Amino acid sequence: MPSTAKPAQRYRRVLLKLSGEALAGSAPFGIDYSVVGRIAHDIKEVHASKVQVCVVVGGGNIVRGSAAAKSGMDRAGADYMGMLATVINALAMQSTLEQQGVPARVLSAIPMATVCEPYIRRRAIRHLEKGRVVVFAGGTGSPFFTTDSAAALRATEMNCDALFKGTQVDGVYSADPRTDKAAHRYDTLSYMDVLSKDLKVMDAAAVSLARENRIPILVFSIHEQGAFADVVAGRGTWTTIAETS
């Protein structure tokens, strides 16, 4: 059953946030190319419906900066390692999309002209207007910020109608439903609910930025085939985070 009785909104431009762990599938490390292929096919479905799509990918399947910092590494250096890992994931997504006939471009907040384009806002918007999927890599380009914050920032800069967060479960729960059978799934939440309840679906900076710019966040399971297209079309199960009326 859909998580809202309201009719599906017609989106013009959306941003999909993917964690690096989502690209690893069931493996503890690296990239599962069959999973990347499935997610790329989901993006292709949304793209085919004439919705402009941009993507932010994490790098936790390769390097997680916060974990490296805990081992004693300088936090800024560890975060830069994590940003480089996102470029690897973004290139994998770009290649897979193009194999499926979807034009795509990788734009990195850390310039590396040999492998991808530098992030320039107007260039990114132009790619979207030309019907290309834009994959943002390199996080925000600065340490101490997560790729959740990068997703909220890019969604704001691209004037996206919504930010779609693909997670391990089909929405936001009061606790981890994989370990707590009593966990309650929310259909809707306000931004302040997420912050005050410390629900950790996204970091506080990302939620606050989305709140300031009134960008709704839709949280759904990225592991269900076709889930991204379904949620964009108003079908399936998800949690909406937005301003309450």
Q: List pLDDT tens digits, range 156-185.
A: 999 999 999 999 889 999 888 888 888 899
Judge whether 98 and 37 are in contact, CB under 8 Å.
no
Does residue 1 carry a pLDDT above 80? no
- The model carries a pTM of 0.92
Interval 232-237 mean pLDDT: 92
| CB burial readout 160-198, b (16+ within 10 A) else e | bbbbbbbbebbbbbeeebeeeeeeebbebbebeebeeee
Q: Please give the domain boundaries of the chain with CATH numbers for all domains.
A: 13-236 (3.40.1160.10)
70-87 tens-digit pLDDT: 788 899 999 999 999 999
Least confident of 39-48, 62-71, 199-208: 62-71
